[in-house]
């Protein structure tokens, strides 16, 4: 019997928005020092909204499923809304993750938040030039 919900397995088998997108405006990277897994998230932003998102995850089934779900949750959201997405939101949408795998879901939200912070940083510099 699997420790994962059907929804986790479904996202693991059919990941959404997987891969690096062309012409991305920013990206975030997070690594898990415990297991060594790494995740990259790429975002394309228009009018402060995430209009496209892509990702690469070198990690476990939970890491892949959580990035896939996060990408669906973040697409179309404003940067402010996307900054509020948490690992709990991702886990809830996946109908739960086994406690031993909760740390894997950190990566997706943190990588997205880093991508947004970098984007804002870059834009602030442009505006002040």
Choose the stretch contacting ligand FES; rule: CB under 6 A; options: 56-64, 72-80, 91-99, 114-122: 56-64
Residue 60 is among the residues annotated as catalytic for this protein: no
> Does the footprint of ligand FES cover residue 35 (CB under 6 A)?
yes
Backbone angles phi, psi at 18, to 5 degrees: -75, 140
Q: If DSSP codes are grouped into helix, strand and coil, which group holds residue 73? A: helix
Q: How far apart are CA 61 and CA 63, in angstroms?
A: 5
Choose the stretch contacting ligand FES; rule: CB under 6 A; options: 55-63, 78-86, 88-96, 112-120: 55-63
Nearest alpha-carbon partner for 36 in 12, 59, 9: 59
Residues contributing to the site for ligand FES (CB under 6 A): 32, 35, 37, 59-60, 62-63, 104, 107
């Amino acid at each position: 019997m699997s420790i994962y919900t059907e929804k986790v397995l479904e996202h693991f088998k059919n990941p959404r928005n997987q891969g690096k997108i062309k012409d991305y405006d920013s990206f975030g990277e997070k690594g898990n020092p415990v297991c060594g897994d790494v995740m990259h998230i790429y975002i394309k932003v228009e009018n402060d909204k995430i209009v496209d998102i892509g990702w690469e995850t070198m990690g476990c089934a939970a890491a892949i499923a959580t990035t896939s779900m996060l990408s669906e949750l973040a697409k179309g959201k404003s940067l402010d809304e996307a900054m509020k997405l948490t690992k709990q939101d991702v886990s809830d949408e996946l109908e739960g993750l086994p406690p031993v795998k909760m740390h894997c879901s950190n990566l997706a939200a943190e990588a997205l938040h880093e991508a947004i912070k970098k984007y804002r940083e870059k834009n602030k510099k442009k505006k002040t030039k």
